Amino acid sequence: MTGMRPALILAIASAATAGLVAIAAPALGQALRGHDSNAPVDVDADRIEVQDRADRAIFSGNVKVRQAGLTLDAARLTVAYASNDGIQVQRLDAAGGVVVRSASETARGDFAIYDLNARRITMLGGVMLTQGQSTIRGGRLVIDLTTGRSVVDGAAAPSPGAPGVSSGGGRVSGRFTVPKRNN
């Protein structure tokens, strides 16, 4: 019976950690709930290339994007737009050390896709979501800006056709702060 004890302790610790993740994870991502995706999008970069026939613009070098209380930094940004009645931004694809920030959260990853119509931000590759001292790491992060719901998936193997980007199947890890209690 003593040989089974470490396994039992590990199982209890894993169950407790899983419960902690379920309790603490919903708090991460809530800061972006109700973000105004209709607000103007401001972009600064070292260089811009406009591909008018393709309805896109490519910004490169120290790219900084701002929309309401949300910022995005990256090495490169492709802006897809519709040009029916003026320019209407549809989607932002960011690559290279992407950092998305709100007032209380920071998300980091290799790539990010901000679909303004779906009101969703998807980050891929070495994703880390931080709020205060709490952190979640995984391969993919999806933030629904309407509900504030964030989902982090693990990463295991490279995705076909996307070198360096991991697909699901791996593990998600997290560290969460707990309130200090007097015993």
Given the candidates 1.10.260.40, 2.60.40.2140, 2.60.450.10, 3.40.50.720, the CATH classification of the domain at 2-175 is: 2.60.450.10
Return d(Cα 156, Cα 18) in angstroms, integer: 20
pLDDT tens-digit series, residues 35-91: 787 889 999 999 999 998 899 999 999 999 999 889 999 999 999 999 887 888 999
Return d(Cα 29, Cα 82) in angstroms, integer: 29
Nearest C-alpha neighbor of 130 from the set 168, 154, 102:
102
Return d(Cα 95, Cα 110) in angstroms, integer: 6
Type of residue numbered 166: S
Alpha-carbon dihedral sign for residues 22, 147, 27, 75: positive
pLDDT tens-digit series, residues 97-123: 999 998 888 999 999 999 999 999 999
* Token output for 157: 């193997």
pLDDT at position 87 is 84
Q: Of 5-19, 127-141, 164-178, which has the strongest mean pLDDT? A: 127-141
